[in-house]
Amino acid sequence: MISKEKIRELEAMAVKLRRHIIEMTCAAASGHPGGSLSAADIITVLYFYKLRHNPKDTAWPERDRFVMSKGHAAPVLYAALAEAGYFPVEYLKTLRRIGSSLQGHIDMLSLPGIEMSTGSLGQGLSAANGMALAARLDKKGYRVYCLMGDGECQEGQIWEAAMTSSHHKLDNLTAIVDHNKYQIDGRVDEIKSLRPMPDKWKAFGWNVLSCDGHKIESIIESLEKAEKTKGKPTIIIAETVKGKGVSFMEENPLDYHGRAPTPEEEKKALSQLCQVEDFEI
């Protein structure tokens, strides 16, 4: 059982990540804050609770693998890696600058700790399958995690990969959908509906779970259920809110899919993302 203190600690970390997302996209004057904010709690649980990883040894063969298939949510991953100690937090301000390792979409060759380069949607799950198959071939116990966007599931390759995961009974793989209901052009339901999403994944042979993607306990509980599931891969459909944590982004998620906050908006956003450490015991 996870302690209340740990949960509070993780909640505080999620706030930190959200502040980083706002600050780094504002500094870059571009980037994707909306889908980064929606994934902040999921990424927090993965990097500060679930993943076995070592920032000092990024090539550790036994490490768990995380593939960020929705590569545009790079800011939240960079924020987590910085807070975990992969590189100094100050470096986050170089996001999207020429010469920076913090590319607009994630690049594994320029930043240690990244398992797969992404940005062209729909490709992460196939790579995650490859890693899970390799773990099996090498008789290694690491788990593979893959985070996808909901709009991303319109890509055909996702479903090719979904068949591969279940065909090979990859129970060492947990996929998560950041179900924030929006894509660039509008509501996913209006652009090209994915409903019924759980049934689709079930029909593709997956164990399907859902969670509140902004509730630490709910995310942890579903990840642990996934780990205990044998004989098939698990997907967690995480119900999330695009722009979560910043009122004016939540209210206008389409505007903030791929637009950074202005300095004025940054101030407003940061005032809503309170410094939780101030209240820590």
Choose between 110 and 275: whose C-beta lies nearer to another protein. Answer: 110
Distances in Å between the alpha carbon of 124 and those of 107, 168, 186? 13, 17, 23
In the complex, what is the shortest distance from the CB of residue 238 to another protein, in angstroms, rounded to a whole number?
22
Contact set with another protein (CB under 8 A): 61, 65, 67, 107-109, 115-120, 123-135, 137-138, 156-157, 160-161, 163-164, 167-168
In the complex, what is the shortest distance from the CB of residue 116 to another protein, in angstroms, rounded to a whole number?
6
Are 180 and 35 in contact by the 8 Å Cβ rule? The answer is yes
In the complex, what is the shortest distance from the CB of residue 73 to another protein, in angstroms, rounded to a whole number?
16
Choose between 105 and 242: whose C-beta lies nearer to another protein. Answer: 105
Q: How far is CA 26 from the centre of its chain?
A: 20
Strands (E), 150-189: 173-179, 182-183, 186-187
In the complex, what is the shortest distance from the CB of residue 129 to another protein, in angstroms, rounded to a whole number?
5
Choose between 58 and 210: whose C-beta lies nearer to another protein. Answer: 58
Choose between 17 and 131: whose C-beta lies nearer to another protein. Answer: 131
Neighbours of 5 (CB within 10 A): 10
Q: Which two tokens stand for residue 267?
A: 């101030």
Q: Which two tokens stand for residue 37?
A: 């904010």
In the complex, what is the shortest distance from the CB of residue 140 to another protein, in angstroms, rounded to a whole number?
8
What's the rounded Cα separation, in Å, for the pair 253 and 243?
Answer: 6
Choose between 92 and 121: whose C-beta lies nearer to another protein. Answer: 121
Choose between 169 and 215: whose C-beta lies nearer to another protein. Answer: 169
Burial of 277 (0-12, 13-18, 19+ CB in 10 A): exposed
In the complex, what is the shortest distance from the CB of residue 130 to another protein, in angstroms, rounded to a whole number?
2
DSSP 8-state class, residue 260: P
